[in-house]
Amino acid sequence: MLLLFICCITAFNEASSVGEKYPEVRASHRNPEREVVVCLSLDGQIQRRDGGTTNCVRDIVKAEFINSINSTGWAFINVDALDEHVADYTLAYAAGFAEGEVSRDLIKMHLQNTVFNYCKGAQEYCERLSIFLLKNFLWMKAKIRTNPDDAYWKQVNFTLNQLEGLVAGYDGDPTYVESPNDLTVHPIYMLQLAGDVEDLEAKFKRPPHLISRAFGSGHCSALIKLLDSNEDLLFSHVTWTSYSRMLKMQKRYSFKVGRSTNPGHTVTLSGYPGTLASNEDFVLTSAKLAILETTISNYNESSFKFITSTSVLTWIRSQVAHRSANTAVSWAKTFARFNSGTYNNQWSIIDYKKFSPHKPLRSTGLLHVLEQLPGLIKHSDLTHVLIEQKYWASYNVPYFSSIFNRSGSWKFVEKFGDWFTYERNPRALIFARDQSTVADMKTLRKLMRSNDYQHDPLSRCNCTPPYSGENAISCRSDLNPPNGTYPFPALGFRDHGATDMKATNFSLMATQLFEGISGPTYNPLPIFDWNTTPLKENVSHIGQPLQFRFPPVVHRWPSRPSSLRY
């Protein structure tokens, strides 16, 4: 099989508390750098509305794009539905097309940094992968055809149509629809799989020297903090990933139209150029749900048999749940369907409808946690844990014993000790020690960006030197010496670090806003600089700032268009 994986904004220094206003952002007072309107023509074709176009009869979607990566570390894209009568599949395709058109240049750079050359030296693995992806795509399409009125499969269809439009927009041809054979090997499709593919690499045996995820490696840190007297509820996440993935983008998809019954018709998220799902998974929905995850490692190779093509990959299931769910438990139940066993995460869902500042909390409904492995999903209401502890932390280790045991982690606890445990992992101890210092957004930011690995006793390890930049809330593995010695690869020098911080609270969540900081943490650590890092020769970073020294920003999205055009 042919493989195409080629061989408003202002910084602020003080964070707000409940009721305090953030400063207005410049982006809300300037026109977007690029704007694309997609319409239906007289003959029913989707096309871009240009200045001279006269045969548009209905505008469907508008996408607005701002690239301020060099000044804030972020690009921003806003995609709005304009027509309340157009069919869902048409709306989805048009939305994808508009995004692909308006952000094409940034998508291309992100592809060059992350996807191109993926199959170089791994052709046999990529053949196996592409066969699986095609079978999976065809299975989903068959389910959609045989269940035309099923709400779940309608949402899956929406996502697949949005993907097809995204590919067409990127390729610049609104009339061309890729065949399943071509779509499932398109580089844009590979972008969607950034999380799922790690488990597919294990199942289909990508050559070990090409697997980027080091043994023991974490993916992200998260903290949900309940302030004293229920003053506020803070929700935060730090992405851990390759430094090649630092073209950061904030997105808003607003598919609220007159007949919409989807509670999550509007979502804001942090993500990347060309990805429909967040991929790092920090998402706020119009149902007042805040969703995040941290990845859990699956060391149990016998569970790979549960990874089959008759499932729905995580990047799709998450979007179906975001749009469909009105409560935290309904999010979990929706997501749990058709478990793919790929991109296995611990998901934490907060329902902000269940929280009011200074008011007593109900014992259920506020926090729901879900964990996934191949063939097994466990989820439960953990509101009582949040109330008792005053915090909930997530750091890549399963909470539920059934998931921990199935993951195969015990054998590494026996070999390496506390580092692989839930209770005694370095980040578990750091969160337990420092969460009480969080009193507002400013102190939350300080904790989530913290890393003093050379002096913090909880960052020490049986290593030479005797500490690791991995053992912190915001890791900096690039600062570990290349000639150091470490008991397992995750603790050593590598292309890996915390590449951002996102946080919201009760007042920001009211309008689906969040504070974002782009780039690896610094102070007291060195600022990440592509001119000086030893990674510069081997890690693609096209389009990225040379130096990441960005303060926090809150992006205020434009109001939805007030009128619908036909």
Q: Is pLDDT larger for residue 211 or for residue 409?
A: 409
Q: Which residue has the higher pLDDT, 18 or 113?
A: 113
In a domain, 153, yes or no: yes
Q: Could you give the percent of the chain with pLDDT greater than 70?
A: 92
Q: Are 248 and 499 in contact (CB under 8 A)?
A: yes
DSSP states along 220-250: -EEEEEE-GGG--EEEEEE-EE-GGG--EEE
Q: How many CB atoms lie within 10 A of CB 445?
A: 19
pLDDT of amino acid 564: 37
**463 falls within a domain:** no
Which domain CATH number covers 333?
3.60.60.20
Helix H, strand E, coil C: the string for 276-328 is CCCCCCEEEECCCEEEEEEECCCCCHHHHHHCCCCCECHHHHHHHHHHHCCCH
Q: Which two tokens stand for residue 275?
A: 């990805």
pTM score, two decimals? 0.93
Mean pLDDT, to the nearest integer, of 479-502? Answer: 97
Would you give the distance in Å from CA 475 to the centre of its chain? Answer: 18
Higher local confidence (pLDDT), 258 or 367? 367
Residue 26: the pLDDT is 38
Q: Do 275 and 333 lie in a common domain?
A: yes
Contacts for 523 with CB less than 8 Å, ≥ 6 apart: none
- For residue 289, how far is the Cα from the chain centroid? 15
Mean pLDDT, rounded, for 336-346: 99
β-bridge mates for residue 503, sequence order? 236, 515
Residue 51: pLDDT over 70: no
Helix 104-114, helix 151-171: angle, nearest 10: 100
User: Of 208, 236, 252, at which residue does a domain stop?
Assistant: 208
Q: Is the separation of the CB atoms in 186 and 4 below 8 Å?
A: yes
**What confidence category does residue 210 fall into, taking pLDDT thresholds of 50, 70 and 90?**
confident
Q: How far apart are CA 401 and CA 412, in angstroms?
A: 15
- The CA distance from 140 to 275, in Å, is 19
> What value does the mean pLDDT take over residues 145-154?
97
| Single-letter residue type at 325 | A
In the prediction, which pLDDT does 3 show?
41
Same domain, 284 and 268: yes
Determine contact, residues 530/474, Cβ cutoff 8 Å.
no
CATH of the domain at 174: 1.10.439.20
Q: What is the pLDDT of residue 176?
A: 74
- DSSP 3-state assignment of 296? coil
Q: What is the pLDDT of residue 560?
A: 64
Domain end, chosen from 208, 225, 255, is at 208
Residue located via tokens 């693995």: 125
Task: Tell whether 337 and 318 lie within a shared domain.
Answer: yes
Residues 185 and 107 in one domain: yes
Tally Cβ neighbours within 10 Å of residue 253.
24
- Judged against a pLDDT cut of 60, whether residue 552 lies above it is answered with yes
CA 462 to chain centre: 32
Indicate if 197 and 275 belong to the same structural domain: no
Is there a domain that residue 347 lies in?
yes
Residue 176 gets which letter from DSSP? Answer: -
What's 506-553 look like in SS3? HHHHCCCCCEEEECCCCCCCCCEECCCCCCCCCCCCCCCCCEECCCCE
- Give the Cα separation of 405 and 376 in Å (integer): 11
Residues 165 and 217 in one domain: no
Closest-CA residue to 217 (of 198, 196, 204)? 198
Pair (237, 332) in one structural domain: yes
Q: Are 99 and 157 part of one and the same domain?
A: yes
3-state DSSP percent of the chain in helix, strand and coil, to 5: 35, 20, 45
Residue-wise pLDDT for 381-414, tens only, equals 999 999 999 999 999 999 999 999 999 999 999 9
Structure confidence at residue 316 (pLDDT):
99
Same domain, 112 and 228: no
Evaluate if residue 209 carries a pLDDT over 90: no
Residue 7 inside a domain? The answer is no
Cis upstream peptide for 524 (omega within 30°): yes
DSSP state, residue 22: P
Do residues 248 and 390 share a domain? yes
Q: How confident is the model at residue 257 (pLDDT cuts 50, 70, 90)?
A: low
Q: Do residues 309 and 358 both lie within one domain?
A: yes
Whether 455 is in a domain gets the answer no
pLDDT digits (tens, 9 = 90+) for 449-489: 999 999 999 999 999 999 999 999 999 999 999 999 999 99
The pLDDT assigned to 451 comes to 98
Question: What pLDDT, on a 0 to 100 scale, did the predictor assign at position 43?
Answer: 84
535 pLDDT above the threshold of 70: yes
- Calculate the CA dihedral of residues 201, 202, 205, 206 and round it to 10 degrees: 40
Q: 297: phi > 0 → left, psi -120 to 50 → alpha, else beta; which?
A: beta
User: Is 466 within a domain?
Assistant: no
Count of domains observed in the chain:
2
| pLDDT tens, position by position, 224-246 | 999 999 999 999 999 999 999 99
Q: Is residue 482 part of a domain?
A: no
Q: Closest Cα to residue 72, out of 556, 513, 552? A: 552
DSSP 538: T
Give the pLDDT confidence score for residue 53 in this predicted structure.
61
Residue 76, SS3? strand
Could you tell me the two tokens for 423?
């209770």
What pLDDT is stored for residue 211 in this prediction? 80
**560: β partners:** none
Percent above pLDDT 90 for the chain: 84
Domain boundary among 178, 208, 238: 208
Is-contact 292 394, C-beta < 8 A? yes
Residue 52: per-residue pLDDT? 58
Rounded Cα–Cα distance for residues 239 and 255 (Å): 27
DSSP annotation of 11: B
Q: Are strands 248-254 and 74-81 parallel, antiparallel or unpaired?
A: parallel
**18 touches 359 (CB < 8 A):** no
User: Taking residues 90-94, what's their average pLDDT?
Assistant: 95
* Residue 429 pLDDT > 90: yes
Residues 144 and 75 in one domain: yes
Is residue 303 very low, low, confident or very high in pLDDT (cuts 50, 70, 90)?
Answer: very high
Q: In Å, how far are 59, 86, 87, 370 from 561, measured between CA atoms?
A: 12, 16, 19, 36
pLDDT bin (cut points 50, 70, 90) of residue 260 is low
pLDDT at 212: 73
Q: Which domain range does residue 227 map to?
A: 213-417+500-554
The one-letter code for the residue type at 56 is C
Amino acid in position 384: H
**In the predicted model, what is the mean pLDDT of the chain?**
92
- How far is Cα 337 from Cα 343, in angstroms, rounded to an integer? 15
Judged against a pLDDT cut of 60, whether residue 14 lies above it is answered with no
**pLDDT for 21:** 42
In a domain, residue 41? The reply is yes
